Structure 1
Amino acid sequence: MLRIPHHGRYDYSPIVKRTDYDWPGGKRLAVHVALNIEHFAYSAGIGHALSSELPPPDPRTFAWRDYGNRVGVWRLLDLLDELALPACHLVNTTVFDYAPDIIAPIVARGDEFIGHGRTNAERQGQMWEADEARLIAYVRDRIQEKTGQRPRGWMGPWMSQSHVTPDLLKEAGFDFLMDWPCDDQPVWLRTRAGRLMSVPYSLEINDSPQILVRHHTPEQFCAFIVGQFEEMLRQSAKQPLVCGIELHTMIFGQPYRLRALREALRHIVDHPQRDKVWLTRPGAIFDHCAALPEGVMP
């Protein structure tokens, strides 16, 4: 039989043939908001760009990225507070040194920190295994040192992975990763040290590809949020689902985009079927799914 390369981390599982289960309180749709808080090198490495980058040094592009840490993150945290929404935060550890004021409000909210590398000016997927292991351990320890919270989840900068990233994450004590957008439900991945959960993180309801790459307007993106939520709420009558809303501080921290986002999130918070919706964080999704009977999760 002719075979093609496969990662071997999970087997194919059609969602229509899986065992049904509920989220806590009999809810059917889990919704999480993930805020990417990133710091970039000046005139070096890679990064998000709103338009064509200039030859280095490029203060215009660096400053646009830096707006997220100086202004955008504060506007987004205010919006989350206004709507009483929990969130998780994918934080580069260089933020702890560069913009330490950001950390205390997140801790005070009771939100969750997700390991997100040192900086989004680099990718980890091309590192030697020993170097990647050191990076993961460094990020884990730095988050715990600065927040008092052991990070349980991981999202690599740019969703970058090597062939051994899941193995290294499990060996470093992580419970789940969010780099594999293969499903609307959590899925167990195989690693050489045991199981590691994949918690859904959307590549579609994500402002970076939609705004910066596909050039959609804020209103279009927020219509995507509402459409995704409404259709997944409808589908969740058959299967429990996870709806992720993935944001970046320098993108939706801009005032005209924030205005549209407020209405989309308010649509969710004030929805007439709100009793079927679990507003939560990825760590709580992991805890619920890990406690399910063996064989319920694929």
Structure 2
Amino acid sequence: MNSVSTTDTPFGPLNSHDRFDYSPIHGRPDYDWPQGARLAVYLGFNLEHFAFGSGMGAKLGASFGEPDVLNYSWREYGNRVGAWRCLALFDSLRLPAGIVANTAILDHCPELIQACIARGDELIAHGHTNAEQQGAYSEAVEHALLRHCAERFERVAGVRPGGWLSPWIAESRLTSDLLAETGYRYTLNWCHDDQPTPLRTRNGSPLWSVPYPQEVNDIPMMVARHMDAKDFAQLIIDNFDEMLEQSRHQPLVMGIALHPYLVGQPYRLRHLRRALAHIAEHRDRGEVWFTTPGAICAHVDTLKSGITNDSRSR
């Protein structure tokens, strides 16, 4: 047989993002969350607005062209009714929320954002609208989008948002770099871990990845997989119970991603109430830290030198 040079084959290392190195969860440095908790839990509550007659959006039923009254109005139920029912539920259980919001919400239903600010919730930038995605934007346009969202929320809330979640989790090759350069402290786009991860950026500016769920998330579960509300509630409970047990060995983060046009429907809200009450009981026993993504980011920032691997610039 003729020998084949390894340099002539396509079997070498694959393309990499180079944002972080591989690191197995076992064997990492140990630390605690505030009050000695081992599991941090947060709500990622998505408030979104969609263009009427064009653009992207989750669908309840078949679309036969624009204007798509069925699917537009189904999503709009979340802003008019569902979100308010959810906020009342969060109030009843004394749960803070990370409000993942489009800036278009400020034009469409500013009362909703004001209610979240009055609750003391954290505002997290989520693009201008979920009718669009930023992955195909030029660097200049994407940079302008990130600045617009930060500045618009700062004018309304008096605090510049520290966190970002892209509509549809769509990124360009430069998104993390641009986030760091426009002053964001963390991103929710990456779902690769159960602990925060520092990301490398092109100029060395710090940026954390805070875990955001794509399984404990009502859109992929209910829209894509057609999961029933009672099963989704049990998914939340099972995920929480298992992570609480796992957190004896290392500190963990559990996010719960919710959209009010889904979980704000009355029959689904009933089941969500059961799941969140279960977690609140454990919080009341001092077993978990129920918090926001921004507070998680702030905590790991104080521990950075002791818990992370290299975050050098690329």
Q: Note the C-alpha offset of 1:192.
A: 1.2
TM-score by length of 2: 0.93
Residue number in structure 2 paired with 1:220: 231
RMSD of aligned Cα (Å)? 1.2
Residue number in structure 2 paired with 1:263: 274
Q: Note the C-alpha offset of 1:293.
A: 4.9
Q: Distance in 2 between matches of 1:12 and 1:220?
A: 33
In the alignment, which of 68, 85, 104 is matched to residue 75 of structure 1? 85
Any idea what SS the aligned residue of 1:138 has? helix
Q: Distance in 2 between matches of 1:295 and 1:10?
A: 16
Residue number in structure 2 paired with 1:178: 188
Residue number in structure 2 paired with 1:230: 241
Q: Distance in 2 between matches of 1:198 and 1:14?
A: 16
Q: Where do residues 264-279 of structure 1 align in structure 2 (5 Å cutoff)?
A: 264-271=275-282, 274-279=285-290
Deviations 1:68-87 (A, max 9, x none): 11101100000000100011
Q: Note the C-alpha offset of 1:276.
A: 2.0
Residue number in structure 2 paired with 1:92: 102
1:288 aligns with 2:291: no
Residue number in structure 2 paired with 1:144: 154
Task: Mark the runs of 5 or more structure 1 residues left unpaired by the alignment.
Answer: none
Aligned pair count reads 298
In the alignment, which of 30, 33, 40 is matched to residue 30 of structure 1? 40
Residue number in structure 1 paired with 2:9: none
Q: Note the C-alpha offset of 1:55.
A: 1.5
Structure 1 segments of 4+ aligned residues over 3 angstroms from their partners: none
Any idea what SS the aligned residue of 2:206 has? strand
Q: Distance in 2 between matches of 1:155 and 1:221?
A: 22
- For the pair shown, the structure with the greater C-alpha radius of gyration is 2
Residue number in structure 1 paired with 2:3: none
Percentage of identical aligned residues: 48
Any idea what SS the aligned residue of 2:282 has? coil
Asked if the contact 2:86/2:269 (under 8 Å) is kept, the reply is: yes
1:104 aligns with 2:114: yes
Structure 1 residues 64, 12: CA separation in 2 closer, same or farther (over 3 Å shift)?
Answer: same
Question: Partner letter of residue 179 of structure 1?
Answer: N
1:17 aligns with 2:27: yes
Q: Distance in 2 between matches of 1:241 and 1:293?
A: 15
Residue number in structure 1 paired with 2:213: 202
Q: Distance in 1 between matches of 2:88 and 2:287?
A: 26
Question: Partner letter of residue 276 of structure 1?
Answer: E
Residue number in structure 2 paired with 1:131: 141
Q: Distance in 2 between matches of 1:122 and 1:229?
A: 32
Q: Note the C-alpha offset of 1:297.
A: 2.5
Residue number in structure 2 paired with 1:163: 173
Deviations 1:221-251 (A, max 9, x none): 0110000000000000000000101000100
Task: Mark the runs of 5 or more structure 2 residues left unpaired by the alignment.
Answer: 1-5, 7-11, 310-314
* More divergent stretch after superposition (227-236 vs 193-202): 193-202
Question: Partner letter of residue 197 of structure 1?
Answer: W
Structure 1 residues 272, 159: CA separation in 2 closer, same or farther (over 3 Å shift)?
Answer: closer
Q: Note the C-alpha offset of 1:147.
A: 1.7
